[in-house]
Every structure is written in structure tokens, then in C-alpha cells.
Chains A and B, each alone.
Chain A
Amino acid sequence: MAEAFKAFTQEWMDEWKKTINASKEYKEIAKDWEGSVSITVNADPSKNVPEPVYMFTDYWHGDALDFLICDNAKAQTAKFIMSGDYSRWKQVAKKELDATKALMQGKLKLKGDLTYVVRNVKTINKVVDLLTEVNTIFPDEV
């Protein structure tokens, strides 16, 4: 059985990045993508997420670059800033909720050039797909 990683840890981010960089399909789909995406998971103490979690991910022409747990200041520097409640992100990570649909329904928020996101929605869906390949232990499952 594949090694399991605790969600929202640097080890988990490293594994996600490794999975993305190993995907030939991702390289092809994301060959035009340029720029970083930050993800903010709102605090939810009842689900063992006592503080907000800030993650910074960077992508360039089919390669995943920096994947970091960071602070709010760093998250705000990303080209695209996404945020939402823990339960929503967990649904996305488990592929129970389509990220695009979640944005349109107000379950997640996105700041940035939406036309770029719309044009590259396949890249975003692939990044989420690859996250589901990482064997993840979520905070409320510990």
C-alpha cells in the first residue's frame, strides 16, 4: 500500500508536486500554463484545523516548481488566490466536488484573471486529479 501523507504538511505538498511532475499527461495539458496559485484553507477547529493553512504552488509550462506551506503574506503574492472552508477543500481533494463547479456555486473563492482560468480549466482539473493520487490522511480522520 502506498505511503500515506498528512494533508497540509510540507511532505504532502512534496508528494503532490512529485506526482504532478511524473505525469506526462499533465505536461501536455499544462504546456501553456504560467504562474502560481495559492490555496487558503480556512480554520475549522472542529475538524482539527485550528488555524488557517496557506499553501503556495507554482507552475511553468508543464512543470511544478515551488510547492510550499507558507504564510498569508506569501499566499497573497500568487497570481491566483483561492480560498475556502476545510470541508470544501476536502471534497475537492477527494474528487467529490468539481473545483470549477465549487467556484461557480460560491463554495470556493478565486481572485485573479478568470478568463485565464477558464481557458486553462483542463490544467486545473488535472492538478486536482493528480492530488487524488496522493494517499492522504485528512486532519479530521487522524
Chain B
Amino acid sequence: MNLPPATSIRQDKENEMVYDDSLSFVYLGPTKIIFGSGSSTSELESEMSALGCSRAVVVTDPGIIKAGLSEKIVKTLGDKCVGVFSDVPQDTGIDVVNRGAAFAREKGADIVISIGGGSVIDTAKCMCILLTEGGSLANYEGIQLLTRLQTPHIVIPTTAGTGSEVTWVAVIYDKDKGQKILIVETYNAPRAAILDPQLTLKLPPLLTASTGMDAMTHAIEAMTSVQREPMADAMALHAIRLLSTYLPQCIKDGSNLHARGQVQLAATMAGWAFGNAMVGIVHAMAHSIGAVARVPHGVSCGILLPYCMDFNISDGDEDAIAIYATIAQALGVSTRDDEPKKAAMAAVNEIFALLKRIEHPIKLSAFGVKEADIIKAADLSIADGAIVNNIRCVSDKEEVLAVYRKAL
């Protein structure tokens, strides 16, 4: 495969990461961010007004309602909330989107407000398309088919990891086809994301750790993608710094509002980073082991990340080493004076250490994964779209299998 060469990375005499003259990229980050404790209630109305909207349909799920996370927000909206659609399952589908859009249309909604995680946010994204364009969602399966802005959407995330609040991708299950479909539309990026750390205070430790490691993987993989670029790298580097410092604090004390907020910011920055630069081998392998053995996505990302980092530098590639050396600085385990290879290895070791600090699972076998599963998953990984973005070209399934075996 001969893709156009990725922009080369090197370290200058001060060991600062620099890009060569072939640099050429597009960076998109259309979503407005409103951050602050209590912002989900204090800022929502004014953000709605700023968008010229006055009739909101709130999209959420039964778990969020049970946890009491949406109640105050809905109450704050008063008459401006024309309905609550809470019939969103964990893996949303076209039928759910159709029902949600019909509900919003019937209520005369002019804006969609999603409160929840990835499934709720993706449902809301697709409802916005149907509200603007009409027709069937199947007509919009693809990339960049829309030609105008869609119905406004404000996201209020209740987890910190997926980055869905700032990406323009929606994943929806199509029951008729028996598979998930992807809709990628920059015109449908959420108009605003309100990050209120209070909403993540009740996340249990394992979910906090695994969603946090999902965000860490987004950040590190964006930097080691062949589509890497400086704007995404800047977001990724700061996300890495914040996660490295504050994720352990969230595990130690889930009620630490400051730490929760920093992790939420990091997840959003990492979302911007990978939304622009894409992800690589860790996601290819996590998608595959998720499909074969149902290992939760965030957990598999966390387990596989350090092994894949080790794989990416083990062939001595100078670009990979330079990038991981920079990541080591962000992780606080290296300085500019360190020899790059040594610094890159320090980054790998620090991710292992971080997993232990946050009590994250470190082996796939803890989730019942067997040798037969990783053989199947290695086959799938080679065909996964994410793998083509990886800094180290991977074309042999045996290479992937060797990484799985280390993580088993």
C-alpha cells in the first residue's frame, strides 16, 4: 500500500517535536465548549437562545433518568422543554432514531439536547438529520453527503471518554441489515457541548478508569496516526497531561470535582484530536476483540495500549520514537534532555504504571478471552479501517497476534 507519505516528525536540537515542510492538513472543531460546575443548568438556556431556539426535545436514557441526572436540567428549561425522549438503549438503532425524530417533530422541537453517553449522543445526532432533511436515515449512510447545517444540537455528556460531544460521526444499528452503519457529517457536529463535571461524579471506579483510558488511547493514537497534524497533537498532548495527573485522582476520590472536570476536558480534547487525526492499531484490535469476545471498548483500549506502543517503537522507527518521547514528557516521565529511545520506552512503562494506579484490568484473560478468540480477532484487526492509520505499517496478522498474546 502506498499512501501519500505522512508528515515526518523529528526532534530538533532542543528535542522539541517538529513537522517537516510537507505538512498539509485540515482541522475541524466546530463545537462550542461551555465548561464549569453546574453549567448544565446555569448555561443551557442562554446557549439555546444564542442558537435562536426555544423548543427543546431532551434525549436521554432510562439509566440517566434513574440516576437523577436529567431532572434538574429539564426543570431548568421549564416551558422551553417540549418533551423528553428517554427510550434510548445501550446500542441505539435506526428504529430508535425514527421514533425520536417523530416525537420531536410532533412536539415542534427546534433543537435537540442530549444528556448521556455515546448511544444517546449518536441518537440525537441522527435525529437532527431527520428533522432537517426528512426521509430515511439510510439515505444518509456515508460520508459528507449533507450540504447545510442541521437542526441545532447541544450535548451534555455524562461520561468522560468517548469524545462524541465534539465528533461528527454517529454509529447506529440497522436491524434490517443486521449491522452498524456509520454516518460522518461535519455539518452535523453538535453546535455546543456543555461539560458539567457534576454529572460525572457518580461514575463508578472501573467505568471511570476505562473511559479515561479510552480518552488516553484517543490522544496517543491521534499523535501516532499517519494523519497526525499539529492542531490535533496540541489537543492530544494536553489531554495526556491532564489524564496522567487527574485520572488517578478521580479513582482515589470519585467526588473530587476538580479532578472530574480536568478528565472531562481531557476527553473532549482527545475527541478533537482523534476526530481529526484518526486512531490506529489499538482501536483496530479493541474493535476486533470487542466483536469476538465482548470485551468492553474502553477496557480493551486500556489493556492493549502499552503493548501496541511497544510494538510501534520496536522496529526502531525514528518518527515513532520521537513522538513517544514527546508523549513521555507529557506523561511527566522524561525531559527534553533524555535520549529519545529511552524516553519512548519510559512512555510505554508509564502507561503500564498508570493502569496499575487506576486499578484498571491489565490482561484480556480477566474477561474470559481465550487463545481461539485472539486468533479470530487478529484476522479481523488486519481488515479494520483504523489499522491503516497506524504509524507502523501492519500487514501481517501474526504481528497483531503476537501483541494480543502479550496482552492475554
Contacts and interface: CB of A to CB of B under 8 A. Distances in A.
Given A97-B4, A118-B384, A119-B384, A104 B184 contact: yes
B141 interface: yes
Residue in B26, B227, B278, B385 whose Cβ sees the most chain A Cβ within 10 Å = B385
A18 interface: no
A112 B388 CA distance: 20
A51 interface: no
B182 interface: yes
B144 A112 contact: no
Contacts of B141: 111-114
A103 B144 contact: yes
A118 B143 contact: no
B23 interface: no
Nearest to B1: A125
A129 interface: yes
A111 B142 contact: yes
Contacts of A105: 26, 28
Given A95-B4, A104-B184, A121-B385, A114 B142 contact: yes
Contacts of B119: none
A119 B180 CA distance: 13
Interface residues of B, number: 26
A115 B182 contact: yes
A7 interface: no
A119 B142 contact: no
A111 B183 CA distance: 10
A8 B180 CA distance: 35
Given A114-B181, A118-B182, A119-B383, A125 B388 contact: yes
A119 B385 contact: yes
Contact of A104 (B143, B183, B384, B386): B143
Contacts of B142: 81, 109-112, 114
Contact of B3 (A98, A107, A111, A113): A98
B58 to A, nearest CB: 29
Nearest to B6: A98
Given A110-B142, A110-B143, A115 B4 contact: no
A103 B388 CA distance: 15
Interface string B369-402: 0000000000000011110100000000000000
Nearest to B183: A114
A105 B143 CA distance: 9
B186 A114 contact: no
Contacts, number: 75
A113 B26 contact: no
Contact of A101 (B1, B145, B181, B227): B227
Interface in B136-180: 141-145, 177, 179-180
A115 B172 CA distance: 11
A103 B184 CA distance: 9
A122 interface: yes
A89 B159 CA distance: 40
Nearest to B275: A104
A109 B143 contact: yes
Interface string A97-137: 11011011111111111110111111001100100000000
Contact of B181 (A97, A107, A109, A115): A115
A119 B384 CA distance: 5
A95 B144 contact: no
A141 interface: no
B1 A98 contact: no
A96 interface: yes
B209 to A, nearest CB: 28
B2 interface: yes
B291 to A, nearest CB: 11
Interface in B16-68: 26, 28
A111 B140 CA distance: 7
Contacts of A110: 142-145
Interface in B282-307: none
A86 B179 CA distance: 34
A96 B227 CA distance: 14
B181 to A, nearest CB: 7
Interface string A20-46: 000000000000000000000000000
Interface of A: 81, 95-98, 100-101, 103-115, 117-122, 125-126, 129
Given A104-B184, A115-B181, 5 more contacts: A101-B227, A109-B145, A114-B181, A119-B383, A122-B383
Interface of B: 1-4, 26, 28, 141-145, 177, 179-184, 186, 227, 278, 383-386, 388
14 contacts: A96-B4, A98-B3, A100-B385, A100-B388, A101-B227, A108-B144, A110-B145, A111-B141, A111-B142, A114-B143, A117-B385, A119-B385, A122-B1, A129-B2
Q: Which 5 A-B pairs have the closest CB atoms?
A: A118-B385, A114-B182, A111-B142, A105-B26, A110-B143
